Structure 1
Amino acid sequence: MNNELNEMFIEMITTRIIVDVLEGERETRLIPCEELELKVHEGMSYLTLQDISEQIQKKFGKEVIIDVWEETGLNGYIYRYGGYGDYWVKHGTTRGFA
């Protein structure tokens, strides 16, 4: 599926990644940004949502639900992969921190 959110850049500074592993022994994990292979542009660490889903699935398998909580100065954004299908959806927006 061509998902327009795949190429969304996510600042990996205060971002929270929550993974529900659905195969084998089910568990919910909070993944620190430092556990992923981050890219850097002009001193800022980032990944695209596609980068995140690929790295998480490589680590935990295909049967996962991934929630990404991105914090910015004025807004927060919540994205979800899985649950609805193998694609990203914008799950929510907040004012202030997510």
Structure 2
Amino acid sequence: MEDMSGTRVYEGDSIVRIIAGDKLISNDMFEWNGVDEFGGWITLGEISRRLRQLGYEDVYYVWEDTPLRGTIYQYGNYRPECWEEYGKTKGYA
């Protein structure tokens, strides 16, 4: 299984939801890179490292939704732990 830890998740026109277990985590809890007036980006690996620092246990989900499509990523459901694509969406528009 390919680890997707280096995959970037972008703010901007995306809606990004970060979920640990059954808790929705505020995007403000993370340090986003390249922040400008439209938002920034963060890698999936940075998200899982920060969630562990905050004391959250696996399984994690990141839902990145754009107007026309989206991707859901999952971490920690398999061993060795890695990020993987969990599903696709049709976007929020």
Q: SS state of the match for residue 83, structure 1?
A: coil
Instruction: Output the CA distance in 1 between the equivalents of 2:41 and 2:19.
Output: 17
CA positional deviation for 1:71: 1.1
Is the Cα–Cα contact under 8 Å of residues 2 and 84 in structure 2 kept in the other structure? Answer: no
Q: SS state of the match for residue 90, structure 1?
A: strand
Structure 1, unaligned runs of 5 or more: 21-27
How far does the alpha carbon of each residue in 1:18-53 deviate from its partner, in whole angstroms, 9 at most, with x for none? 101xxxxxxx31101111111125553110000101
Q: SS state of the match for residue 93, structure 1?
A: strand
Give the TM-score normalised by the residue count of structure 2. Answer: 0.81
Instruction: Output the CA distance in 2 between the equivalents of 1:35 and 1:70.
Output: 17
Instruction: Output the CA distance in 1 between the equivalents of 2:26 and 2:36.
Output: 21
CA positional deviation for 1:2: 6.9
CA positional deviation for 1:60: 1.3
Structure 1 residues 64 and 36, CA gap change in structure 2 (3 angstroms):
same
Matched, 1:66 2:67: no
CA positional deviation for 1:12: 3.3
CA RMSD of aligned residues (A): 2.0
Is the Cα–Cα contact under 8 Å of residues 71 and 87 in structure 2 kept in the other structure? Answer: yes
Aligned partner of 2:7 in structure 1 is 8
How far does the alpha carbon of each residue in 1:55-86 deviate from its partner, in whole angstroms, 9 at most, with x for none? 1111115x311010001121011000011231
Instruction: Output the CA distance in 2 between the equivalents of 1:80 and 1:36.
Output: 17
Count of residue pairs the alignment pairs up: 88
Give the TM-score normalised by the residue count of structure 1. Answer: 0.77
